Amino acid sequence: MTTHVLILCTHNSARSVLSEGMLNHLAKKLGKDVKAHSAGSAPSGRLNPFAIEALNNAGIDTAAYRSKSWDEFSTDGAPPLSIVITVCDSAAAEACPVFFGGKGQPVKVHWGYPDPSNAEGGDEGKRRAFELTRQAIGYKMLQLLALPLDTMDQGALLAALNGIARS
């Protein structure tokens, strides 16, 4: 059974998109039955070009990606979510979305990353920040994919995901 993971950020334009791309890419590479989705509580309607560039440079096809609302994941026909991860940076007093979704409550965890679109140093500084954020997200996604997702109960899964958050 596919494990569906929803990654949320406010605008669904940068960190959540990087996370969706990395998790799907790594899951496919490792032969894991995990599908990532991303959404925002207030989607911008556009993807950050630096996020797309960082994913494309890592060999990830982003042609089908779009900025979308989390509302799509609480309707009939939405994938049954096992995990919801917020990736906004609460340390920067950024408002993180809280998801109340669907059938059976998914395990919810927060993995905060600073917003790379606020990086200094012009376009080159932003490119560097997006690439470093993509790598940091990839590291956490590899840890998620190493978990025995199909045999863990919600309590064990939450504990493991919170452990990854602290890594």
| Choice among 68, 69, 80, 96 that is catalytic | 96
State the DSSP H helix or E strand holding residue 134, giving kind and residue range, or none if neither.
helix 122-145
CA distance 44 to 132: 23
Catalytic residue flag (residue 89): no
| Choice among 88, 119, 129, 149 that is catalytic | 88
Catalytic residue flag (residue 88): yes
Query: 60-87 burial, b for 16+ CB within 10 Å, e for fewer?
Result: bebeebebbebeebbeeebeebbbbbbb
Catalytic residue flag (residue 47): no
| Choice among 6, 7, 9, 160 that is catalytic | 9
CA distance 33 to 35: 7
Catalogue the active-site residues: 9, 88, 96
